[in-house]
Amino acid sequence: MNIIEEKLTNFMKKYQNQFKKTPDKINWTLVYDLIAFETEDDPFQIVSDLTGMVIDKVHPEDYMKDIPDFYASGLILKDDQIHLREGIKTIGAQALQSTDIKELIIPSTVISIGEACFDDCSDLEVVIFKEPCQLRKIPKEAFMNCVKLKSITLPLTISRIGKRAFAFSALETITLHKGLHISNYAFEETPLKEIIFKGRKEDFNLQVHLSAKALEGCPIHTITCDNGEIDL
């Protein structure tokens, strides 16, 4: 028995009562936290090893209200392996970082997403926010390095876009709404071709706070408003 197998065996014995329950009764958040603490190894695959479940058939996230930090960070996943169901409240920092998901649907029940939660998802092409959205912030580095993400529609509930939230992504077009605060480097080095503001150009500076370096390294020179353009 190698060291990892020994750790898992000891873990299983210590918390065996947790794994005797049916999937809907297991406290998955606790299980993931315990695995990370006890073994310092990847919780996502270890749950499968410990319980005998097949990960692509039984999804722990189906039974969780909070997706932990580093939940599936760096894993190669099948498209259907991450189920972000209605009822999930939070998605932790770096929870899906560097995974190969192609489409992301964020449930309407989600109230916060962590920093760098979808950073470096190089196959991600589609992001959909289910309505009625409750999110208030796109945090720091949330979609950084998403090199296939060309467009995104932000819910009107979003009031802040964090530092480097979309930096080094493939974002070509973005629509801004009133009440937005856009941090420095939010769109750094993206190939932005079009920024649309749903309002009059006279109102842009009053209704949107665009930090001085928010568009650092972007090729765009104008913002398109309902009644004309603003030069940057």
Cα 221 from Cα 114, distance rounded (Å): 31
Tens of pLDDT along 118-145? Answer: 999 999 999 999 999 999 999 999 999 9
From the list 193, 197, 108, the residue with the least C-alpha distance to 157 is 108
pLDDT of residue 58: 46
Contact 63, 85 (CB under 8 A): no
Tens of pLDDT along 174-197? Answer: 999 999 999 999 999 999 999 999
Cα 74 from Cα 118, distance rounded (Å): 10
- Whether 69 has a pLDDT exceeding 90, the answer reads no
- Whether 94 has a pLDDT exceeding 70, the answer reads yes
pLDDT of residue 53: 44
What burial class does residue 66 get, using C-beta atoms within 10 Å of its C-beta: 0-12 exposed, 13-18 middle, 19+ buried? middle
pLDDT of residue 219: 94
pLDDT of residue 30: 61
Cα 54 from Cα 66, distance rounded (Å): 21
Identify which of 50-54, 61-65, 162-166 has the greatest average pLDDT: 162-166
Cα 163 from Cα 165, distance rounded (Å): 5
Report, as an integer, the average pLDDT of 155-172.
Answer: 97
Report, as an integer, the average pLDDT of 216-222.
Answer: 94
Confidence of residue 100 (pLDDT cuts 50, 70, 90): confident
Query: Does residue 166 sit in helix, strand or coil?
Result: coil
Centre a 10 Å sphere on the Cβ of residue 57 and count the other Cβ atoms it contains.
9
Higher pLDDT, 212 or 65: 212
Across the chain, which distance is largest between two alpha carbons, in Å? 71
What are the helix (H) ranges across 147-201?
A: none
Pick the CATH number of 71-231 from 3.30.420.40, 3.80.10.10, 3.40.50.720, 3.30.70.1350: 3.80.10.10
Higher pLDDT, 57 or 39: 39
